[in-house]
Chains A and B, each alone.
Chain A
Amino acid sequence: MIRFESVSKKYPDGTLAVDELDLVAPSGRITVLVGPSGCGKTTSLRMINRMIEPTDGRIWLDDRDTASVPTHELRRGIGYVIQHAGLFPHRTVVDNITTVPELLGQDKKRARARAMELMERVGLPAQLAKRYPAQLSGGQQQRVGVARALAADPPVMLMDEPFSAVDPVVRAQLQNEFLRLQGELGKTIVFVTHDIDEAIKLGDQVAVLRVGGHLAQLASPADLLAAPADTFVAEFVGRDRGYRALGFAGAGRLPLHHEHSVALGSGLGEAREAGVDGWVLVTDAEERPQGWLRTDRLADAASGETVVQEQLNLGGTLASENATLREALDSALSSPSGRGVIVDGSGLLLGTVTASEVLARIEQQRVAADGPSVRRTGAGEAS
């Protein structure tokens, strides 16, 4: 557990970066600090490992006052991941990862073995061990950064915008893997970001800070979306928060319609017959949905022609059977036929659902709920 006890940071020129911050980051959970630039979120994070010294107040690591520990000792016990990874260019990947064990004087062989294990954990192929950071992509560097922070198995991790320097696709990937990793490791994590979507996706609790270093609201992501404490938080959380809140509510058992699908390679004539409202769902041989085929515009098909990949509309997203309301609704809204495709855990077609049916479910849950009903379902994204 990390506890801020009226912590302030005032710079000599009088700027107040953090003002009497009280905050608890519970053990084994992810606490996200989020806010606009100048809100003191990074300063707050860096005061935990004393990269910045507070001018007032105390920060406790469990029952230890961080100010009572020599800085280098304190830092060796805290994982530290920063925006551009900050890997040592002159060291290979494996030597980067063993930095802290080496500082702690641990056995070199064991540290290397553990480094290789960690590389696998964070999704890095073993043959990258002897590479240098300059030979890696941004996403890979960031993974090495995470492995390096985990090397000495610290109970606490500080992460300062670790995923903001990579492109959106890689970022989403890193975020998902980060959540999976945290599910296995259960570290006490303080995570800084300026991106409210990232905060909501990753945080067990989210602390919204406002400029001047004031804590505006500390809440679970669902509560933050459902009940912003004030106009600042409401504005910061953004416009489509009603829609995003659906991402925290399970859709439950939706009424599925049987969808008559055709497999890739079937005859076009068969596809046209199977089409409903001008669209037919095309699957692979195992019944995994591949895309939609427009049937009302098919010319009188020459009987020999078959359904091929290139003809498909790929616009629709897939939702799994235990999806959130958001995923189910998105599946229906994005489908060119208006019928959202629902699949099972292994990606096989279960059936379809329409937007109005999902909306009906949303209404139902609203009526059934007492107050904010939203609860967190798994973080994995089915798409």
Chain B
Amino acid sequence: MIQWLNDPGNWTAQGGIFDQLWAHLQYALIALVVAIVLALPLGLLIGHTGRGRWLVTVANAVRSLPVLGLLILLYVMLAPHIHGRGDTVYLLPTEIVLILLAVPPLLASTVAGVENVDPAVRDAAAGMGMRGGQVVRKVELPNALPLVFSGLRSATLQVIATATVAAYLGLGGLGRFVYDGQASQNFAERNAGALLVALLAVVADLLLAVAQRYTVSRGVSGRFSSRPDASTSAEGGPPELPAPPATHTA
């Protein structure tokens, strides 16, 4: 496997690792973007209004469908209706499967994030004259972000891992190596493909962790640059001034 990975030809060739890595990323990104566009606003709405929680249950149920079975079913159902050029007929079922996997964790965690916001905080927000949309944007979303990110990260892991099945329908992606290696009994190629998928997932998760660090308010994540000093814990009284340096007159 190491040998296979060390062969530069396997990286740069047409249909080599670089090409498939890029394809894999594209499948994953499309699915994640669509899932965010669907699940985030919906989750915020459900959390804010407290209505439609059943949608979360339904989404979670969808998650338990077998991926390959669903992929084939969608292909069989959709193929007769798609007469375009190129890969659309394969891409569409693949993306639908990936989106169906990405939406539930994102939706559930967004709803949970909004529901977890302290009721006193929402009460204050509305009581000070924020409109519904402002409460969501200025208060509920920023406070739900840690959970939204955890949903996004788990969705990302799922999608990157599962995007391997694109190759099952003859598309590219890192799954190509897995399926081809298996078929041709080239186990080095197969294992290398699996390893690359895992590495890609880990790198994506790290990137999201960095993004989370810079988007979530320190007040929510609890990362404070300095520990509260004496004047913070001292109740009420005037700020404690540092003691003046003792002056010695020798």
Contact = CB atoms under 8 A, between A and B. Distances in A.
Given A85-B120, A133-B219, A134-B222, A123 B126 contact: no
A82 B120 CA distance: 8
Nearest to A46: B127
Contacts of A91: 217, 219
A137 B121 contact: no
Contacts of A139: 235-236
B150 interface: no
Contacts of B138: 88
B127 A75 contact: yes
Contacts, number: 108
Indicate the member of A51, A88, A139, A148 with the most B CB atoms within 10 Å.
Answer: A88
B190 to A, nearest CB: 47
A144 to B, nearest CB: 11
A131 B232 contact: yes
B217 A132 contact: yes
B231 interface: yes
Nearest to B217: A90
B224 to A, nearest CB: 6
Contacts of B218: 132
B228 interface: yes
Nearest to B141: A90
Contact of A80 (B127, B224, B239): B127
Interface stretch (B35-43, B93-101, B129-137, B170-178): B129-137
Contact of B128 (A89, A100, A128, A140): A100
A128 B229 CA distance: 10
A72 B228 contact: no
A99 B126 CA distance: 11
B25 interface: no
Given A72-B131, A73-B129, A75-B128, A89 B231 contact: no
A353 to B, nearest CB: 31
A125 B230 CA distance: 12
A173 B235 contact: yes
B196 interface: no
Contact of A90 (B220, B236, B239): B220
Given A49-B127, A75-B126, A132-B224, A88 B233 contact: no
Nearest to B117: A89
A301 interface: no
B86 interface: no
16 contacts: A72-B130, A76-B128, A77-B129, A82-B120, A86-B120, A87-B121, A87-B124, A89-B118, A89-B143, A89-B219, A91-B217, A126-B239, A131-B232, A134-B224, A136-B232, A148-B128
By Cβ-Cβ distance, the 7 closest A-B pairs, closest first, are: A132-B219, A86-B124, A125-B239, A76-B129, A90-B217, A75-B129, A86-B120
